[in-house]
Amino acid sequence: MNLISTQTPTAELQALDAAHHMHPFTDAEGLEAKGARVITRAEGVWLQDSEGHRILDGMAGLWCMNIGYGRDSLAEVAARQMKELPYYNTFFQTTHVPVIALSAKLAELAPGDLNNVFFASSGSEANDTNLRLVRRYWQCKGQPERRIVIGRKNGYHGSTMAGASLGGMGGMHVHGGGIIDGIEHINQPNWWSDGGDMSPEDFGLARAKELEDKILEVGPENVAAFIGEPVQGAGGVIVAPDTYWPEIQRIVDKYGILLIADEVICGFGRTGEWFGSTTVGIKPDIMTIAKGLSSGYIPIGGSIVSDEIAQTVGAQGDFNHGYTYSGHPVAAAVALENLRIMEEENLVSYVKNDIGPYLAEKWHSLADHPMVGETKIVGLMASLALTPNKETRASFASDEGTIGFMTRERCFANDLIMRHVGDRMIIAPPLVITREEVDELIVRARKSLDEAYEQVK
């Protein structure tokens, strides 16, 4: 076998990649025609590809690289842990030091009585856990008919069957045979696209009330939980109007329904608090975590669960659920080191009080661009809605997503990673981004918008 390395010519790497690697969310024909971009190194907020381009990573990988690339101490911690105890499981009444320490740390950081952690290796797996856990909870409470979980259209909760089913991405539901039973969806609180003539406040209330309508439609006695991201990430950084989450909280409280906050993106400083739930003022019973928990250095996810749920389920024998890698010692040790760095460098307060407000000012300044309508930002996650008419909030006449795709391609050409979701452009840079790097991001974003606009105006 040929030795493949970063010295191998790009075309050769791309050909092998296209021949043998099935990519997530990627058109295989496009890969063969164009080849994938080969990323070889990274430092801070900067990526380098096999052609020597230095690229500003405006998406922190997939919203996960919170402490930035190139932190030696995480590698050192991983190496030490691998030598000492590379693996042991947490099934059948066994445990180990890293998972104990990480669980205790997460209980300390999480709000309210969220003091219990069930580990997984990803956000999708953690949401699978949540689906089974909330149903198990209601069984233990003597209400087994409470099985329905309500999610939102255009919400994202992962790619496993439960994750994709809880999520509301139509394109995912059609690939693989629909959604699993006992899951319902309500509309998302996206005022820009769906708000019509309503004020954002009225629209937020109306969309939250859809939860109550759905509960009454299926019968409150059948509903286990509602799940939502405090700020929708993959759906296009959709920030709900201020009226939305208080009304959701009121409704779940009224019907005694569990609230699951999917914090996979919003958690660990992204919104300027440790958790997005605090930012939007809700009190979840379960939080899904992943991504920023280890800043993507190693796969780890989990569910942080209330005392009430943990004690109720724990009082009735085994919860017949678990993954080989639940609480993996190396992953737990790396996550702990990541959290140590976040605290040592005060990254959450840096986002809230320094770099977040700085980026917000620059981001909103893009609103003067002829095709930028809404500009939204919470902490370090932000979006732009592209439109040919800011007054009517119209969509471009071409297929939805065309102008977004064109803009994203111009960003790539200008060595900036910015994603598009339809005609929304989104960023979520590493939390360590500096003011100078924010300035550079904005310069490249504006240039890319200008170049895309030239092609459509």
**Can you tell me which residue has the tokens 């052609």?**
51
Q: Per rule CB under 6 A, is residue 122 in the interface with ligand PLP?
A: yes
Q: Which stretch binds ligand PLP (CB under 6 A): 80-88, 121-129, 201-209, 240-248?
A: 121-129
131 binds ligand PLP (CB under 6 A): no
* CB of 293 closer than 8 Å to CB of 267: yes
Instruction: In angstroms, give the least distance from the CB of 299 to ligand PLP.
Output: 7
Rg over alpha carbons for the chain, rounded to the nearest Å, is: 22
Q: Does 128 bind ligand PLP (CB under 6 A)?
A: no
Least CB distance to ligand PLP at residue 58 (A): 16
For residues 269 and 430, give the distance between their C-alpha atoms in angstroms, rounded to a whole number: 10
- For 286-318, b/e burial (b = at least 16 CB within 10 A) is bbbbbbbbbbbbbbbbbbbbbeebbebbeeeee
156 near ligand PLP, judged by CB under 6 A: yes
Tokens of 165: 């089913």
Q: What is the DSSP string of 52-98?
A: --EEEETTHHHHT-TT-B--HHHHHHHHHHHHH-S-----TT---HH
Residues 288 to 307 in contact with ligand PLP, rule: CB under 6 A: 288, 290, 301
Site mask, ligand PLP, residues 13-52, x = CB under 6 A? ----------------------------------------
**Unique residue bearing structure tokens 């939860």:** 211
Q: Which is nearer to ligand PLP, 122 or 243 (CB)?
A: 122
Residue number, 124 or 407, with CB nearest to ligand PLP:
124
State which of positions 238-297 bind ligand PLP (CB under 6 A): 262, 264-265, 288, 290
- Find the shortest distance in angstroms from Cβ 420 to ligand PLP: 15
Cα–Cα distance between 257 and 240 in angstroms, integer? 21
For residue 429, state whether it binds ligand PLP (rule: CB under 6 A).
no
157 lies in the binding site for ligand PLP (CB under 6 A) = yes
Between 50 and 279, name the residue whose CB sits nearer to ligand PLP.
279
Residue list 321-360, contact with ligand PLP (CB under 6 A): none
- Which strands form 39-43's sheet, in the order they lie side by side? 39-43, 46-49, 54-57, 416-417
Q: Give CA–CA dist 232/139, Å, rounded.
A: 30
- In the complex with ligand PLP, which residue's Cβ is closer, 62 or 443? 62
- Which parts of this chain interact with ligand PLP (CB under 6 A)? 62, 122-124, 127, 156-158, 163, 229, 233-234, 262, 264-265, 288, 290, 301
